């Protein structure tokens, strides 16, 4: 927890917040915070700053917020992710939030097990818990929205063209495609929409649909990776390319 992240409605009129449960335990057991300590804090989609611990009991802590910094900007990478196994889903969205994405679309694909759509992990509250964990790690107040799309082709054909028309570069990760840097020059700050397939990959027809919709197929250069590792590897390579000139 590199940022104590609170919801706006948790803040009382005095600018204080009471933490119990997971965040409380992390505060005490991992960060070993005690009254008087000041830690990085922020409000979901709101300002950042510090939180001073003013009281710690056996089961909760009271913190006073001092929020004098602007909200984290919306990261200008959006992620399209074929729904992975339920446990991998939680880790993948957490990793995406930690590395910073503006928005997540969870999509169906030929190689997605249809049972995954019955999983409780697709419940918005479960997803939000994973996203918040990632934002706490990454230190960002930007908790991405997540949309679930049960039909891939209508999503590609009806929704993506409008989004690409606003300017971003669309990239679809596919082993054997040209490497990422052929589609995104070092130092480029262009907004991106990146699509990561299921375990086993997109089928060729799906890649073709993305490409017909204006996306460019790219690869990470590595072999095939599990979903969460692929998300981490892709977002990390994008971040590095943006830093370079």
Binding site for its own copies (CB under 8 A): 2, 30, 91, 94-95, 98-100, 137-140, 179-181, 186, 200, 220-226, 228-230, 232-237, 239-241, 243-244
Cβ proximity to its own copies: between 23 and 62 the closer is: 23
What is the nearest approach in angstroms of its own copies to the Cβ of residue 14? Answer: 30
Cβ proximity to its own copies: between 49 and 175 the closer is: 175
* 234, 224 contact by CB (below 8 A): no
What is the nearest approach in angstroms of its own copies to the Cβ of residue 63? Answer: 20
Cβ proximity to its own copies: between 190 and 236 the closer is: 236
What values do phi and psi take at 224, rounded to 5?
-75, 140
Sort strands 103-107 and 77-82 into parallel, antiparallel or unpaired.
Answer: parallel
Q: Is residue 193 classed as helix, strand or coil in its secondary structure? A: strand
Beta bridge partners of 53: 63
What is the nearest approach in angstroms of its own copies to the Cβ of residue 225? Answer: 5
What is the nearest approach in angstroms of its own copies to the Cβ of residue 157? Answer: 28
Going by C-alpha positions, the residue among 180, 185, 172 that lies closest to residue 212 is: 172
Q: Is residue 157 classed as helix, strand or coil in its secondary structure? A: helix
Token code pair at residue 203: 């089928």
Cβ proximity to its own copies: between 11 and 233 the closer is: 233
């Amino acid at each position: 927890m590199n940022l104590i992240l609170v919801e706006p409605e948790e803040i009382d009129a005095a600018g204080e917040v009471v933490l119990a449960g997971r965040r409380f335990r992390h505060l005490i057991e991992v960060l070993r915070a005690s009254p008087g300590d000041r830690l990085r804090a922020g409000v979901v989609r709101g300002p950042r700053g510090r939180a001073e611990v003013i009281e710690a009991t056996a089961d909760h802590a009271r913190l006073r917020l001092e929020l004098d910094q602007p909200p984290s900007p919306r990261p200008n990478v959006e992620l399209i992710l074929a729904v992975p196994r339920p446990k991998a889903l939680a880790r993948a969205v957490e990793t995406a939030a930690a590395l910073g994405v503006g928005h997540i679309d969870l999509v169906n694909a030929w190689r997605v097990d249809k049972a995954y759509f019955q999983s409780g992990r697709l419940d918005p509250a479960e997803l939000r818990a994973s996203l918040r964990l990632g934002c706490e790690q990454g230190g960002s107040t930007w908790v991405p929205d997540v949309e679930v799309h049960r039909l891939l082709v209508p999503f590609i054909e009806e929704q993506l063209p409008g989004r690409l028309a606003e300017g971003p570069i669309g990239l679809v990760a596919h082993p054997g495609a040209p490497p990422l840097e052929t589609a995104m020059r070092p130092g480029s700050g262009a907004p991106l929409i990146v699509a990561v397939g299921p375990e086993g990959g997109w089928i060729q027809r799906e890649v073709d649909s993305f490409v017909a919709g204006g996306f460019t197929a790219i690869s990470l250069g590595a072999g095939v990776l599990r979903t969460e590792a692929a998300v981490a590897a892709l977002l990390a390579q994008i971040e590095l390319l943006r830093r370079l000139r």
